Amino acid sequence: MTRSFDFKGALCVVLALVLAAAAAADEDPRRAELEKEIAASAEVEQKILVPMRDGVGLATDVYRPKGAEGPLPTIFWRTPYNFSRLSLSRLEWISRAMEKGYAFVIQNERGKYFSEGEWKILGFPRTDGYDALTWIAEQPWSNGKVGTIGCSSSAEWQLALAATDHPAHAAMVPMASGAGMGRIGRFYEQGNWYRGGVFQMLFGVWLYGVQNTQRPTFPADISQEDRVRLGKYFDLAPELPDVEWEKAIRHLPLEDLLANVDGPKGMYAEFIRRAPDDPAWYEGGLYHDDEPWGVPSLWLNSWYDVAISPNLELFNIARENATDAEAADHQYLMIAPVPHCSFFRAEEDTLVGERSVGDARWDYYGLIFDFFDFLLEGEANGFARETPKVRYYTMGANEWRTASAWPPEEAETKTLYLASDGAANSLYGDGRLVSEPSESSDRDTFPYDPTTPVPSLGGGVCCTGGTVEPGAFDQRHLEARHDVLVYTSEPLEEGIEVTGFVDVTLYVSSDAKDTDFTVKLIDVHPDGTAYNLDETIQRARYREGYDRQVMMEPGEVYEIALGPMATSNYFPKGHRIRLEVSSSNFPRFARNLNTGGNNYDEAEGVVALNTIHHSAEHPSRIRLPVVER
C-alpha cells in the first residue's frame, strides 16, 4: 500500500524543530549552570502559604543552604511578578545566597499567582509585609534578622515597611524604588503617578499588564504538595493581547486609555481622577515624609531613572526621620549612570542611549553582601568604616566620586539667566544663558498645540511599552521645532562639574487658563551634539501648591518653580550648557489640553500661546550646583 507524503505535517515538524533549536540557542547557558548549582546547594520548599493576620496565605518559596548549621540570616525578595520560572537575576541571587550561608525567601504579594486574596498596588507593606517578616523571624532556621532586597516593584514596598520598624528588619536594599514614594519633601509624585502635577504615562501602560487580577483559583484546602504539583502545570501568568502602544498611548480621554485597548478594569480608573494631594494617596502603601524610618538602607539609584530626584530627596529624609542612631548612621547611597534597574548591565564601555559614559561597572554583589554581612550577621568587615555615605558617577568625567552627603557639601550654586532678543524659538534662534539678568524686558513666545506635542526623546523613563527609550540622545532635531525655546551658554572657558539638584524658575504668561511648562538640561558638545541630562515639568494650575488649583489670567505674569532636576555631569572646556523650554514632553508626560478642565475626561484641547519672560524684573533662571575639582 502506497502512503501519501504529508508535506504540510512534515513542514510543521521541521518548523517546530527549528523553533525549538532557536529557543535552545537563545537560552543563556548561565541559566543551566545556576539551576544545577542551586539544586546541589539548596534545600527548597515551594508554594508555602504564609499566613497573614486576616488568614490569607501568600505563596512563598524558601531556599536554605544544605547542611547549614545554626540559625541563618535571611534575604527576602517580595514581588507582584511571576516566579514560577525564576529569572536569571533571581537565580543569581539565590546561588550567591546559598554560597554565603543565607536563607533566601521569595514571596508573591497577595492576589498574585498562587497567593490568596485580592491584589492592590504595593501589596499592603504595612500589614502583609510586616507579617511576612514576623513569619520568617519565627522559623527555626532563622536568626531573627532579615534583609529585604529588590528592584522596582520589589523595592517599592520596602519603603512603607521601613516606617513600621519591624524588629527583624535589620537592613534593606531598595533599588530604583521611586514608585513607593508618595509626598517626599518638594515632590508630590504619589508613586510616580505625577511629576509637577502632570500624569506620567508609564503608569497606564504598566497597569495594563499588572492590574489584571482575574485568574483561575484553586480550592482553599489543597495541600502544599498539590500546590507544588499544580505550579508545574500552571504558572497563572496571563497572556494579554499585544498592544501597539505607539498609537494607543495617544488615546483621549485619558480615563479611557485602558478601556480603549480592552485592558482590565482596576485602579487606573480611580487613580486617574485623583489630584496630586488627594487624601486617598495617604491611605495606601506609599511612604510619606512625615513617617518614621527604622531601617539601615543601601540605596541604589540611577541618573536615567523615572524618579531620581525624589529618590535623592528620600535619602535625606530617611536620615532625618530615623528612629534610632543605627538607622540614621547607616544610610548609604549609590547613583549609577544607567536606566531603570540596569545596575548589573553596565559594561566596560557603557552606552546610555547614544552616549558613552565609560566604564560604569561596579561589584554590586560584593557591596550588597558586605552590607548584609555587617548588619545581618554582625561581621566586623569594615563596611561602615570603608563605605562612603554617597558614591555617585560623574558623566563626562566618567568617574565614580564620593561624598559625605547629598548634594556634596562643597557644591556651590552658579546661576545662569535666560536671555534673548525675543526669538529663542528653536536651535536657530537667539536664546542665551548669561551670568546677569537682562536690563530690558525681553520675552519669548511659542505656541503649544496638544495635537502635535513635542515628542519625548530619551530621559529618565521606564515602562512605556517601547514608546520611549531611556538615556541620553542628541536633541537637535527636537530643538529645530518652533515650539521649543533654546537657551545656550557661550563655550566654557574651563570645565565645570555640575553635581546635585538643579532648580529652574520661569516667569510665564499664557492666553490659556492652564498649561504646562517643561525644561531639559543639556550638555552641548563642541560638534553640536546635544545630550539630555535630566528633565522636568510643571502644571501651571499647581504653581501655588498641590492642595489647590489656581487658573491663569491672560496678560498676567506668574512665577513658576520647576524641578528640582538632578545630575552629576562634567562639562569640559569648549562644551556649552543649554536649557530647553517648552510645554510638552509626550508620551513621557500626559498632554495638557489647555482648557482648565480636568484633562482626564476631555478629548478636545485648545492651542495655547505661552510666553517666557526674562529681565531684571522677571529673572527666569537656572541654578546649577557646581563642585570645584
Whether cis (ω within 30° of 0) applies to the bond prior to 564 is yes
- Global pTM value: 0.93
Least confident of 10-19, 32-41, 315-324, 556-565: 10-19
The pLDDT tens digits for 145-204 are: 999 999 999 999 999 999 999 999 999 999 999 999 999 999 999 999 999 999 999 999
What is the average pLDDT across 272-278? 97
Decide if pLDDT at 25 tops 50.
Answer: no
Task: Exactly one of 95, 115, 142, 152 is catalytic; name it.
Answer: 152
Cα–Cα distance for residue pair 307/309, rounded to 1 Å: 6
Please, is 53 exposed, middle or buried when counting C-beta atoms within 10 Å of its C-beta (0-12, 13-18, 19+)? exposed
Reduce the DSSP state of residue 248 to 3 states and report it. helix
The pLDDT tens digits for 222-235 are: 899 999 998 888 88
User: What is the pLDDT, as a whole number, of residue 88?
Assistant: 93
Decide if pLDDT at 15 tops 70.
Answer: no
User: What is the pLDDT, as a whole number, of residue 440?
Assistant: 83
Q: CATH classification of 412-627 is 2.60.120.260, yes or no?
A: yes
Task: Exactly one of 166, 169, 330, 340 is catalytic; name it.
Answer: 340
User: What is the pLDDT, as a whole number, of residue 1?
Assistant: 37
CB 352 within 8 A of CB 393: no
* Among the listed residues 606, 509, 608, 610, the one whose alpha carbon sits nearest the alpha carbon of residue 552: 509
What is the average pLDDT across 206-223? 83
Cα–Cα distance for residue pair 420/443, rounded to 1 Å: 7
User: What is the pLDDT, as a whole number, of residue 494?
Assistant: 97
Neighbours of 558 (CB within 10 A): 18
User: What is the pLDDT, as a whole number, of residue 24?
Assistant: 42
Q: Within 13 Å and on the Cβ side, how many CA atoms surround 135? A: 22
The pLDDT tens digits for 444-471 are: 999 999 999 999 999 999 999 999 999 9
Amino acid at 180: G
Cα–Cα distance for residue pair 340/463, rounded to 1 Å: 9
Decide if pLDDT at 274 tops 80.
Answer: yes
User: What is the pLDDT, as a whole number, of residue 418?
Assistant: 98
Examine the residue annotation and report whether 435 is marked as an active-site residue of this protein.
Answer: no
Please state, rounded to an integer, the average pLDDT across all residues of the chain: 93
User: What is the pLDDT, as a whole number, of residue 575?
Assistant: 98
Q: In the chain, where are the structural domains located?
A: 412-627
Decide if pLDDT at 16 tops 70.
Answer: no
User: What is the pLDDT, as a whole number, of residue 28?
Assistant: 84
Amino acid at 1: M
The pLDDT tens digits for 311-358 are: 999 999 999 999 999 999 999 999 999 999 999 999 999 999 999 999
Task: Exactly one of 131, 289, 305, 373 is catalytic; name it.
Answer: 305
Q: What percent of the chain is modeled with pLDDT above 90?
A: 88
Contacts of 287 (CB under 8 A, 6+ apart): 159, 160, 162, 163, 180, 181, 182, 184, 314
User: What is the pLDDT, as a whole number, of residue 488?
Assistant: 98
Q: What percent of the chain is modeled with pLDDT above 70?
A: 96
User: What is the pLDDT, as a whole number, of residue 3?
Assistant: 38
Cα–Cα distance for residue pair 569/585, rounded to 1 Å: 22
Examine the residue annotation and report whether 305 is marked as an active-site residue of this protein.
Answer: yes
User: What is the pLDDT, as a whole number, of residue 102?
Assistant: 98
User: What is the pLDDT, as a whole number, of residue 58?
Assistant: 97
The pLDDT tens digits for 583-614 are: 999 999 999 999 999 999 999 999 999 999 99
Cα–Cα distance for residue pair 158/78, rounded to 1 Å: 9
Query: Integer distance in angstroms from the first to the last C-alpha of the chain?
Result: 90
Examine the residue annotation and report whether 154 is marked as an active-site residue of this protein.
Answer: no
For residues 212 and 253, the model is more confident at 253
User: What is the pLDDT, as a whole number, of residue 8?
Assistant: 37
The pLDDT tens digits for 419-446 are: 999 999 999 999 999 999 988 889 999 9
What is the average pLDDT across 59-76? 95
Cα–Cα distance for residue pair 175/277, rounded to 1 Å: 26
User: What is the pLDDT, as a whole number, of residue 283?
Assistant: 94
